[in-house]
Amino acid sequence: MNEFPYPPNRLPVLGDVLSLNPGKPVQSMTELADKLGPVYELRFGPMRMVIVNSAELADDVQSEALWEKEFGPPIRRLRKVVRTGLIAAETEDPQWGAAHRVLMPGFSREAMRGYHETMVQVVAELIRRWEHGGGPVDVAGEMSSMALEVIARAGFGHSFTRLDEPPAGNGLPVVKLMVDVLRYASRPVSVKLVDATIGRIALLRHRRNVSELQRIADNLIGDCPPVPAGSPNLLQRMRDTPDPDTGQRLSRTVVRDQVLTFLIAGHETSANTLTFALHALGDRPDIVERVRAEIDAVAGGDPATLTYDQVAKLQFLRRVVDEILRLWPVAGGYFRRPKQDTYLGEHRIGRGAWVYVNLLAVHRDKRAWGPDADRFEPDRFAPGATPRRTAGAYKPFGIGLRSCIGRQFAIHEVMLTLAHVLYAFDLEPDPKYRLSVDEFVTLKPAGLRMRMRPRNQLRERL
């Protein structure tokens, strides 16, 4: 059997446009997997994609000898914004290779140790802001501002705002700019059928947004101070460190592309993971108490004293983060293409075909994760707890050479933030809220508001 299953309501020429919600394509693909099985085909006009939804088949595409990275439509659109950016450029592009080599040491253990205190300072500002706020918090907006401020200060030596002073949340213009750029890149394939006038208006607005972001990045580069004694930040490293292979420094355009990549896509990794985590933890006070007990054991009850090395000792908190990334990975999936004609399971697939590994489905595959795969259960990541898990079953940051270069930065930031927030506040979710997830290249909870009740106030009343 070589023909892939496909949705029953396929249309001539248009293909499977009726089978996907254009605003939530990955979630629609996951729903289709329940009907069509672990692998199926989608067509949109001349474009054809094979969708992988099982851990077993995800294993098949891991081989770098037989498979390689493909860039889906959203990343191809982002390439027009960050042409040589680490997220968008072809692996064969020598400028991508140079930037990757220059930046890799910026995420070493020693470099990460240097970012720790900056992260602590930013999170402390967020805590002070929430302690004096009182009202419901726009979680996604606040997390976006915090994550943006972390990468700006730690990576570029710049501050957009103090988080304990207004404006914050969606009040930061740069946050709105980035969200709008991601939204435009995530347009559905069928957008070309929209009225041409509306399309032109959206394109002009997108170009203005990109120009403004480029201006911001250029200012960051121009304002970057000389490298002080000690380890340089990411921007100083890109500006002043020659490529170890060629001896050449990165051009200003390449540096700008990387700055924009970190601003647009890099901060989203941490912000969205934190937002999903706070949503999940709002319904699990038992897990919150275990995190607090671990902080008591490691830091003596004061997360502000956590050192870089102590954060790594918060093993249960790390399981919480891993489990959030399982249920809600950074991006909904990734594209691969075979280098030659081969097989995907029992189906023959041709060289160069587009294969989309749907991580929302793979990470919830009951054959790999057990019958409760949809449940938030951090102990799933305890040693030996999931013996059936294979290499392809868990890939929240992508695979191979093109996996997220800043994943350790993001994980440390998320763990540190959660340690501070969960120790300082009791989470009070809105009982009427039901999780809704937007898809802007990354996955983001929509409309999540939550009260943060300071625990010191509760103890004083008791």
- 103, 234 in Cβ contact below 8 A? yes
* Spatial distance between the Cα atoms of 428 and 451, rounded to a whole number of angstroms: 5
- Residue in this structure with the two tokens 């347009």, named with its chain if needed: 187
User: How does DSSP assign 192-229, residue by residue?
Assistant: GGS-HHHHHHHHHHHHHHHHHHHHHHHHHHHHPPPP-S
- 356, 50 in Cβ contact below 8 A? yes
404 annotated to bind ligand: yes
Is 182 strand, coil or helix?
Answer: helix
Tell me the residue type at 54.
S
* Spatial distance between the Cα atoms of 163 and 30, rounded to a whole number of angstroms: 37
- 449, 433 in Cβ contact below 8 A? yes
Where b means 16+ CB within 10 Å and e means fewer, 60-78 reads: bbbeeeebbbbbbbbbebb
* Spatial distance between the Cα atoms of 393 and 31, rounded to a whole number of angstroms: 18
- 427, 278 in Cβ contact below 8 A? yes
Q: Which residues are annotated as a binding site?
A: 404
Q: Which residues are annotated as a binding site for heme?
A: 404
